[in-house]
Chain A
């Protein structure tokens, strides 16, 4: 439990499918930071620490970003863990503030790769990908997770429409998020008729690449603007390379710490009001929820149909990356944290979940060979 540390502000840049002239990773990151500082009512000169993650910051690094932002810091971190980078940075920043290393700390993530740049990143993700997958024409992560999705369908008896419930539900949430790139309603017929990308993944199963950035501000709860509840983290856990790629990918690293996470947080799955689950692919949302112990009887199909399709359980209430867009995996992870904060501060506008007090957020990513090698989860709580 972090008693002297809280998330006090959030901000984001515009999300766009195609960066325009003059827009870059750096300008999106700047826009998100300006928005977060304004939201937290913190002056840039007060910032003592910064954590950043991006696939497209190079050749710059974190200190270059600090220089170009005019931030003189005593705590600096650059994370490289893809879809769980933001969760990883969150943990480091919480400990940084809690131990007095720095406060306030900015956590920022952003990317503006463009489609061509993204394709190059996907083909050169690591040595295993470059040497053993890209020469097959594997199509980046779509190819990898198409095979994982087929395994999940076979193991749990899922049908294509089961995944459709998630895409449709998240699109309905996205309609209430002015930052989402796809906001028009989606119906099952349209979902099922979408062009196949990598069997069985269709267009609506594959997260749309966008350009954009997110930022959050972490400080002592007393720094939270008046009239707004700070959000503390009751527990956070990470996993890296939990099974050496020797499993089937249907469990994530979350399975290695889930029980400990809930115990450390002192809450039960049923206490959660909002969930931000890293949604690069629908199959991985179900896998993470299952690892968290949030799917009764491990019946993924029933959960998809009943809890997501019918009850519209509040999962990925900003629309998720699948509708709001994925500005690189790293920033996508920070989007889920930001949304949880807005929900717990009762500032989520039309998509506000009434009386939300606790949220779970996750990160998942870094496809090593056959599936992701990093995972993380945190329990967030509104401080009254």
Chain B
């Protein structure tokens, strides 16, 4: 697990992306810098309760999250955070996850 989620930022115009693009959709630049975004606000939530072909599926939560730089990312939600909650983002492999911010 790594802190934050890796995103891509166009070096020419500064537009941010997730997932990765080949060209920037705004300026069509092709050089991107990587950075990590560590926080986002939960917008919508779903619970995946049934999946085709799976017999012992355990329900789990997904959320659409708006990051501080305006990106919308679909994350696996590891707790009961609801819409409007500011959460920490982290990554396992290429997959983004989130959970409520730990108490200071």
Contacts and interface: CB of A to CB of B under 8 A. Distances in A.
Interface of A: 115-116, 118-119, 122, 127-128, 131-133, 135-140, 142-144, 146-147, 150-151, 154, 195-201, 209, 244, 246, 369-370
Nearest to B61: A199
A127 B54 CA distance: 22
A273 B18 CA distance: 42
A138 B72 CA distance: 16
Contacts of B72: 370
Contact of A131 (B19, B44, B47): B19
Interface of B: 18-19, 25, 43-54, 60, 62-64, 72, 74-76, 92-97
Nearest to A200: B46
Given A115-B52, A115-B53, A199 B46 contact: yes
B13 to A, nearest CB: 14
A117 to B, nearest CB: 9
Provide the main secondary structure of the chain A interface.
Answer: helix
Contacts of B75: 136
A136 B62 contact: yes
9 contacts: A119-B53, A122-B52, A132-B96, A133-B74, A135-B94, A136-B76, A143-B48, A151-B44, A370-B74
A244 B48 contact: no
Nearest to B24: A244
A209 B52 contact: yes
Nearest to B77: A136
A118 B52 contact: yes
Given A136-B75, A195-B49, 9 more contacts: A115-B53, A116-B53, A136-B76, A136-B95, A136-B97, A140-B51, A140-B52, A147-B44, A200-B46
Given A244-B25, A246-B25, A199 B47 contact: yes
B64 A147 contact: yes
A143 B52 contact: no
A305 B17 CA distance: 39
Contacts of A195: 49-50
A186 B21 CA distance: 44
Contacts of B76: 136-137
A133 B75 CA distance: 8
A137 B48 contact: yes
Nearest to B63: A147
A347 to B, nearest CB: 34
Contacts of B60: 137
Of all A-B residue pairs in the complex, the 3 with the closest CB atoms, nearest first, are A135-B95, A146-B46, A136-B76
B92 A128 contact: no
Contact of A197 (B45, B50, B63, B93): B50
